[in-house]
């Protein structure tokens, strides 16, 4: 039997190990100079043109960003239901209500028309997710937000380096969060990086991250310990030097798959969009689950379903709304391996397997 092709594979090299060793030998492990350098290098690398604040996870980063943007109990924030639960959890943890809007079929991202239809007098913000690494329709979402006087919060957890019409994701909203979880396009072990549109949002995020203190024992607000360690930052700084090459490889892998797959719907890229392929997600209209099982059992090819249960059907969020494109995507989506460790032989095996299964099912 051929080797299993995993759906994701974090790449950790000698540079990351040496960086961790450097921090361990320094004896200073908690948030310090490595975190500060990582924040500055991250912003510069992705051309965000704004300050970044590191957190101990992406989810913490979303929570810090929402609190610092003034989101509170009684407010509503429009979110996709077709996303990872962290998007909705972070809104709910502020006391605000996540309001689920449908997605568009083309990019799996929030539909501008559905956003408009979901706005009420309690809506304070829209939180688009740049799902799979494809930018949400930010040009239209920013116009809607301006017209209604509400904010935009970006969940860029999966989209390091993505852009729309030359503007990087992470430079649109009041804040934007990039996750550094191991399966994301780059990692720090666990972690999140949050860009801030204003010095005040940046300052508040730093306060909430550290018990509400900017100066020690001069607490201003009720805060968390959501600090990143220097150990994790040191890993992230090394990954930052490599993520550009990995993204180019993801894009090349995706181009090969899109050119050669038949019988499944390959992911389109919008005009003006740079897709960084955190996931390469096809639609399998008939018996997606059986298709995934056969890929694994007959061809030893891994795959993922992101996400088979929409958030509005999860116990903490259950509401009776009709989101037809969300339901269809949850039933049809299948993410194939696209990570930068794939060999040409792996890519060919994926194509052979998918095309054979699609032909057999048709």
Ligand X SMILES: *Cc1c(COP(=O)(O)O)cnc(C)c1O
* Contact residues for ligand X, defined by CB under 6 A: 57-59, 83-84, 86-87, 129, 155, 157-158, 179, 181, 192
Q: Considering the complex, what minimum distance in angstroms separates the CB of residue 335 from ligand X?
A: 12
CA distances from 288 to 70, 201, 282, 295, 335 (A): 41, 43, 10, 11, 11
78 in Cβ contact with 300 (< 8 Å): no
Given the complex with ligand X, which of 11 and 356 has the nearer CB atom? 11
Q: Considering the complex, what minimum distance in angstroms separates the CB of residue 61 from ligand X?
A: 7
Given the complex with ligand X, which of 87 and 347 has the nearer CB atom? 87
Given the complex with ligand X, which of 57 and 174 has the nearer CB atom? 57
Given the complex with ligand X, which of 261 and 267 has the nearer CB atom? 267
Given the complex with ligand X, which of 129 and 205 has the nearer CB atom? 129
Given the complex with ligand X, which of 53 and 357 has the nearer CB atom? 53
Q: Please list, in sequence order, all residues whose beta carbon lies within 8 angstroms of the beta carbon of residue 166, skipping any fewer than 6 positions away.
A: 272
Q: Considering the complex, what minimum distance in angstroms separates the CB of residue 275 from ligand X?
A: 15
The closest of 310, 291, 304 to 360, measured between CA atoms, is 291
Q: Considering the complex, what minimum distance in angstroms separates the CB of residue 293 from ligand X?
A: 24
Q: Considering the complex, what minimum distance in angstroms separates the CB of residue 359 from ligand X?
A: 32
CA distances from 338 to 122, 134, 159 (A): 41, 14, 14
70 in Cβ contact with 207 (< 8 Å): no
Distance CA 356, CA 234 (A): 44
**SS3 at position 124:** strand
Report the DSSP beta bridge partners of residue 98: 77
Distance CA 152, CA 154 (A): 6
Distance CA 336, CA 220 (A): 47
Q: Considering the complex, what minimum distance in angstroms separates the CB of residue 131 from ligand X?
A: 7
Distance CA 152, CA 128 (A): 8
Given the complex with ligand X, which of 293 and 309 has the nearer CB atom? 309
Given the complex with ligand X, which of 84 and 277 has the nearer CB atom? 84
Q: Considering the complex, what minimum distance in angstroms separates the CB of residue 48 from ligand X?
A: 18
246 in Cβ contact with 186 (< 8 Å): yes
Q: Considering the complex, what minimum distance in angstroms separates the CB of residue 52 from ligand X?
A: 15
Chain position whose Cβ is nearest to ligand X? 58
Give the count of alpha carbons within 13 A of 265, CB side only: 14
For residue 294, what is the enclosing H or E element?
helix 288-299
Distance CA 245, CA 235 (A): 17
């Amino acid at each position: 039997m051929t080797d299993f092709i995993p759906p994701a594979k974090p790449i950790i090299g000698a540079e990351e190990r040496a960086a961790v060793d450097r921090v361990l030998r320094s004896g200073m492990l908690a948030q310090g100079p490595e975190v500060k350098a990582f924040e500055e290098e991250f912003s510069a690398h992705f051309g965000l043109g704004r300050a970044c604040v590191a957190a101990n996870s992406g989810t913490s980063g979303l929570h810090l960003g929402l609190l610092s943007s003034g989101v509170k109990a009684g407010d509503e924030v429009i979110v996709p239901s077709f996303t990872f639960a962290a998007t909705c959890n972070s809104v709910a943890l502020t006391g605000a209500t996540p309001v689920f809007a449908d997605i568009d079929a083309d990019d799996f991202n929030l539909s501008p028309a559905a956003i408009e239809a979901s706005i009420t007098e309690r809506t304070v913000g829209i939180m688009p997710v740049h799902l799979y690494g494809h930018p949400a329709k930010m040009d239209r979402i920013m116009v809607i937000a301006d017209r209604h006087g509400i904010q935009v919060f970006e969940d860029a957890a999966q989209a390091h380096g993505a852009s729309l019409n030359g503007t990087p994701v992470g430079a649109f909203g009041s804040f934007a969060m990039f996750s550094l979880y191991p399966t994301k396009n780059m990692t720090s072990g666990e972690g999140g990086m949050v860009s801030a549109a204003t010095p005040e949002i940046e300052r508040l995020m730093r306060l909430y991250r550290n018990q509400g203190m900017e100066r020690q024992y001069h607490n201003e607000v009720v805060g968390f310990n959501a600090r990143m360690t220097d150990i994790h930052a040191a890993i992230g700084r090394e990954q930052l030097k490599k993520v550009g090459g990995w993204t180019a490889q993801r894009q090349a892998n995706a181009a090969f798959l899109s050119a050669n797959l038949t019988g499944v719907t390959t992911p389109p890229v919008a005009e003006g969009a740079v897709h960084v392929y955190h996931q390469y997600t096809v639609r399998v209209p008939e018996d997606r689950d059986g298709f995934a099982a056969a890929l694994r059992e007959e061809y030893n090819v891994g795959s993922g379903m992101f996400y088979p249960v929409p958030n509005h059907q999860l116990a903490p969020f259950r509401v009776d709304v009709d989101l037809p494109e969300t339901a269809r995507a949850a039933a049809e989506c299948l993410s194939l391996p696209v990570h930068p460790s794939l060999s040409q032989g792996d890519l060919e095996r994926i194509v052979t397997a998918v095309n054979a299964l699609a032909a057999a099912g048709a």
